[in-house]
């Protein structure tokens, strides 16, 4: 890793909606450079403080998750590794979560749109409140962080791939370092899809979607491309939620996807009956604060998927 040499800013207007090695870079940097990036709201401006639930039915998915960039990294060649060190991740104070028809883990269960707007403390000192149903500690993270694929594009912005992309890993937070394999000259780094909070799995399809300001440092390691994305985190990954323990539901059976759905359905049922909240709000809380985990995958023919919901959200 090299020391910081320069610092640059890329503003939010420099964005795109797909991965493509043919997109011209908006900035060229040397390894060791610090870059400040403005990330657009993941809805691409289609959802705002004045929006209503009905507007979810008009969402243009080709304008979802705009990513800022791309950035050319000098010396990066196929077979190399780019290390992206997240120095700071600053949310804007407003965001949204939604149940979007035909989208999310339980799309067949929730057929109607549902929109929640959040006004939260940018400094993270006060949990974000969901209409009296719960209070979610914020944990700003980047949902989409990737390099250009080697295959000619354009490529859909949503699926994750070997070179990163929309991975929605809740631990892409300040202090984490992501390592990605380079497939094209210059690497062509872009990022977007900011969340002020998200659980592992992002089960309803959205976290607490928000605009961000991000500062990161890029470094280059020659001839060291990993097989797939790998990352390190600076410390405990659940300490902001651990204090009151967890309620856990499970899905048991031979199919992990079915097990995941069963575990989340059981948690929605539990929260709805015990806490007297709507199933829609329970589903959104599961997405922004709860974690899906594979608890057992060796005792054939049945596996166990567990869903952990932090009780601190309800206190």
pLDDT in tens, 188-209: 999 999 999 999 999 999 999 9
Same domain, 193 and 277: no
pLDDT band, very low/low/confident/very high, at 4 (cuts 50, 70, 90): very low
From 111-125, 154-168, 233-247, the region with the lowest mean pLDDT: 233-247
For residue 6, the model assigns a pLDDT of 63
Q: Tell me what the pLDDT averaged over the chain comes to.
A: 95
pLDDT number for residue 133: 87
pLDDT for 221 beyond 60: yes
**Mind listing the pLDDT tens digit for each residue in 296-306?**
999 999 999 99
Q: Is residue 35 part of a domain?
A: yes
Same domain, yes or no, for 217 and 302?
no
Q: State which of 191, 207, 232 marks the end of a domain.
A: 232
Helix 279-289 with 256-275: angle, nearest 10 deg? 120
User: DSSP labels for the chain?
Assistant: ------EEEE-TTSEESEE-TTSPPSEEE-TT-EEEEEE--TTTTSS-TT--GGGGGG--GGGSS-EEEEEEETT--TT-EEEEEEEEEEEEEEEEEEE-TT-STTTTT--S-EEEEEE--TTSSSPEEETTTEEEPP--EEEEEEE--SS-S-EESSS-BTTEEE---TT--TT-EEEEE--STT--EEEEEEES---TT-TTS--SEEEEEEEEEEEEETT---SS-EEE-SS-SSTTTGGG-EEEEEEEES-HHHHHHHHHHHHHHHHHHHH---HHHHHHHHHHH-EEEEEE-SSTT-EEEEEEEEGGGG-
| 286 & 190 share domain | no
Task: Please check whether residue 210 is in contact with residue 194, taking contact to mean a CB–CB distance below 8 angstroms.
Answer: yes
Least confident interval from 76-90, 113-127, 199-213, 215-229: 113-127
Q: Which of 205, 232, 259 is the last residue of a domain?
A: 232
If asked whether residues 125 and 81 sit together in one domain, one would say yes
pLDDT at residue 2 greater than cutoff 70? no
Classify residue 144: in a domain, yes or no.
Answer: yes
Average pLDDT over residues 6-29: 94
State how many domains the chain has.
Answer: 2
- Per-residue pLDDT, 3: 41
Q: Given 211, 232, 253, which residue is the final one in a domain?
A: 232
Q: Which domain holds residue 247?
A: 242-314
The predicted pLDDT at position 99 comes to 97
Q: What is the pLDDT of residue 124?
A: 87
Examine residue 271 and state whether it is found in any structural domain, yes or no: yes
Provide the pLDDT confidence category of residue 154 given band limits of 50, 70 and 90.
very high
- pTM, rounded to two decimals: 0.94
Residue 18 placed within a domain: yes
CATH number of domain containing 128: 2.60.120.580
């Amino acid at each position: 890793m090299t020391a910081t040499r320069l610092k640059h800013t890329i503003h939010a207007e420099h964005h795109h909606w797909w991965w493509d090695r043919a997109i011209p870079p908006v900035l060229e940097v040397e390894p060791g450079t610090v870059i400040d990036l403005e990330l657009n709201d993941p809805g691409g401006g289609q959802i705002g403080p004045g929006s209503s639930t009905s507007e979810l039915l008009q969402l243009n998915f080709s304008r979802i998750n705009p990513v800022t960039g791309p950035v050319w990294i000098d010396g990066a060649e196929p077979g190399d590794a780019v290390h992206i060190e997240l120095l700071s991740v600053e949310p804007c104070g407003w965001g949204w979560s939604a149940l979007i028809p035909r989208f999310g883990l339980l799309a067949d269960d929730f057929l109607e749109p549902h929109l929640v707007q959040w006004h939260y403390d940018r400094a993270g000192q006060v949990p974000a409140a969901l209409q009296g149903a719960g209070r979610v500690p914020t944990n700003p993270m980047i949902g989409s962080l990737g390099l250009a694929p080697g295959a000619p594009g354009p490529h859909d912005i949503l699926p994750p791939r070997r070179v990163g992309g929309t991975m929605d890993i809740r631990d892409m937070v300040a202090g984490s370092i992501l390592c990605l394999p380079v497939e094209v000259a210059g690497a062509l780094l872009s990022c977007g899809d900011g969340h002020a909070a998200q659980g592992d799995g992002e089960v309803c399809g959205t976290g607490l979607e928000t605009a961000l300001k991000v500062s990161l440092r890029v470094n280059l390691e020659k001839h060291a491309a990993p097989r797939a994305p790998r990352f390190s985190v600076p410390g405990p990954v659940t300490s902001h939620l651990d204090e009151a323990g967890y309620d856990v539901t499970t899905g048991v059976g031979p199919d992990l996807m079915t097990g995941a759905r069963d575990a989340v359905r059981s948690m929605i049922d539990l929260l709805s009956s015990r806490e007297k909240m709507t199933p829609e709000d329970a589903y959104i809380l599961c997405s922004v604060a709860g974690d899906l985990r594979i608890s057992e995958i060796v005792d054939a023919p049945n596996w166990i998927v567990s869903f952990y919901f932090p009780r601190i959200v309800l206190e």
